[in-house]
Amino acid sequence: MAGITGITPEFKNSDLIRKGAFVDGQWLETASETFNVTDPATLEVIATLPDQSIEVIHEAIDSAAEAFRLFKKTTPKTRSTWLRNLYNLMMENVDDLAKIITWENGKALSEAQGEVKYAASYFEWYAEEAVRMYGTTIQPNNGSNRAFTVRQPVGVCGIICPWNFPSAMITRKAGAALAAGCTVVVKPDSQTPLSALALAHLAEKAGFPKGVFNVVLTATRTPEFGLALCESPKVKKISFTGSTNVGKILMKQSASTMKKLSFELGGNAPVIVFDDADLEQAVTQTILSKFRGLGQTCVCANRIYVQRTIIDSFAEKLAKQVNEFVIGHGLDSKTTHGCLINENAIKKVEAHVKDALEKGAKTVVAGGRLPELGPNFYAPTVLSHVPSTAVVNKDETFGPLCALIPFDTMEEVVGYANDTELGLASYVFSKNIDTVYTVAEALETGMVSCNTGLFSECTIPFGGVKESGFGREGSLHGIEDYTVIKTITIGNLPAPL
């Protein structure tokens, strides 16, 4: 079936398009097997990369371990300078880096540009945090002893990243690791590896020594690569963003070496809109959360609880804005929303829509596939009066289904919101500060966003609770997960003068 034709971006800096992995300061462009990277909007092949053997991941680990011996001894100021260089290089190449994201991920170029700036901000932030890793002083009960703590880098870090934010999910982790004095081995998703390779190129230009920043590639051996990172005694930490199921597997595999772990896992974020909220604001902010990346984000709105007295007016206003979306190729300047990542993503949306309708939901915006554009295009669906028994309440859609679920009381909706094993982000809309504060404290999520649909930035801690994982990225806390605390005690000192 004919669809929109592919758009090949023009790059000012063609060096950003790499053809192989980056290990020990070398570009590895050949392998006995290869895999294709495709534009999800057209399914056209945009790159053919080496599908590397398991030996390459071990080479990368060995390289990172060797580099760590010297990198950990660099001064915080030196690491800060390199991180600042990397930030500057990303900002100098914003347009090209955004085009790469859109080309391999499918999101609209305006969103991709926002991601690059967001991603770069973590290198800027950690350039400043690198020189602020403080210890503590302690007075032991033994009067002749003194004690203090220092933070030291944990060691080689395995970084396993998803496809939905192919740049930002790397920088949030690598920025903290590099600032602390750790070296990294990055395993990007095989659907979106070009952004990771561009970052490796810029890290080299920024001055990082060889072996400090490594990127490995595979499409067919992802489980084996993950196992190698988890079981290697040379790797001291794993940071992973992805599904809860895979996180549990990695956690089990890492137990053999007692690794330090940071996991950002499934979301299933609830939005709660009370009838005293600013309705226009609540609608606009809900749309920003729900349809960022067409719903393919870990913190996007999945279950939208609207107080029954306003659900019809909320749905009407929301539908009006959704109907103004321009769906198209992400590199088209007129496009507001691009395509989904693959066929399976569309099938999951369709299954959730079908289930909700069979259980009594009302159609507000029908949405559906857009075959005239391409196989992975789907216009957003908006459903109202979705029953609490619908599968969307339990299973994260990760796509453009906007499910509006009615509620009556605060106690009722908090129960709905917390009735899940996940707990990453949540949203509350109300003009009443008592309501906002009470509900925010009661919600079982790592982050609560009140009266805004977009909250992520490098200055605040990002992470979840329950089966959404543990550890925090960003903020003053983010670097802590890449360090260990060493306590130093000096004993048998002479009595004070």
pLDDT classification of 290: cutoffs 50, 70, 90: very high
pLDDT classification of 8: cutoffs 50, 70, 90: confident
Q: What is the mean pLDDT of residues 66-81?
A: 98
Bridge-based pairing of strands 269-273 and 301-307 is: parallel
Residue with tokens 């794993």: 238
Is the Cα dihedral 85, 186, 40, 51 positive or negative? positive
Closest C-alpha to 189, from 165, 173, 214: 165
For residue range 458-480, what is the model confidence (pLDDT) as tens digits? 999 999 999 999 999 999 999 99
**Chain center to CA of 465:** 15
Please state, in angstroms and rounded to a whole number, the distance separating the CA atoms of residues 81 and 87.
Answer: 10
**Chain center to CA of 9:** 25
**Edge-to-edge, what's the strand order for the sheet holding 483-490?**
137-138, 146-153, 483-490
Contact 106, 376 (CB under 8 A): yes
Contact 443, 271 (CB under 8 A): no
Using DSSP, state whether 347 is helix, strand or coil: helix
- Active-site positions read 264
Q: Enumerate residues 6+ apart whose C-beta is below 8 A from 214.
A: 21, 22, 23, 24, 60, 63, 64, 183, 184, 185, 186, 200
> Which domains are seen in the chain, by residue range?
14-265+470-484 (3.40.605.10), 269-458 (3.40.309.10)
Closest C-alpha to 16, from 89, 85, 106: 89
Provide the whole-model pTM: 0.96
Contact 405, 374 (CB under 8 A): no
Using DSSP, state whether 331 is helix, strand or coil: coil
Q: What is the mean pLDDT of residues 138-151?
A: 96
Phi then psi dihedrals of residue 428, to 5 deg: -130, 135
Please state, in angstroms and rounded to a whole number, the distance separating the CA atoms of residues 47 and 51.
Answer: 12
> What pLDDT does residue 7 have?
76
For residue range 164-181, what is the model confidence (pLDDT) as tens digits? 999 999 999 999 999 999
Q: What is the mean pLDDT of residues 293-315?
A: 97
Q: What is the mean pLDDT of residues 437-461?
A: 97
Bridge partners of 138, per DSSP, are 147
Task: Assess whether pLDDT exceeds 80 at residue 282.
Answer: yes
Q: What is the mean pLDDT of residues 215-232?
A: 98
Query: Average pLDDT over the chain, rounded to whole?
Result: 97
Please state, in angstroms and rounded to a whole number, the distance separating the CA atoms of residues 346 and 491.
Answer: 65
For residue range 337-351, what is the model confidence (pLDDT) as tens digits? 999 999 999 999 999
Please state, in angstroms and rounded to a whole number, the distance separating the CA atoms of residues 171 and 458.
Answer: 10
Please state, in angstroms and rounded to a whole number, the distance separating the CA atoms of residues 275 and 284.
Answer: 15
Burial environment of residue 334 by CB neighbours within 10 A (0 to 12, 13 to 18, 19 or more) = exposed
Task: Assess whether pLDDT exceeds 90 at residue 5.
Answer: no
Q: Which amino acid is it at 145?
A: N
Residue with tokens 């800027």: 124
First-to-last alpha carbon distance for the chain, in angstroms, is 89
Token representation of residue 220? 């067919």
Please state, in angstroms and rounded to a whole number, the distance separating the CA atoms of residues 64 and 460.
Answer: 29
pLDDT classification of 4: cutoffs 50, 70, 90: low
Q: What is the mean pLDDT of residues 258-266?
A: 97
Task: Assess whether pLDDT exceeds 70 at residue 69.
Answer: yes
pLDDT classification of 3: cutoffs 50, 70, 90: low
The DSSP H or E segment spanning 77 is: helix 76-92
- Cβ-based neighbour number of residue 122 at 10 Å: 29
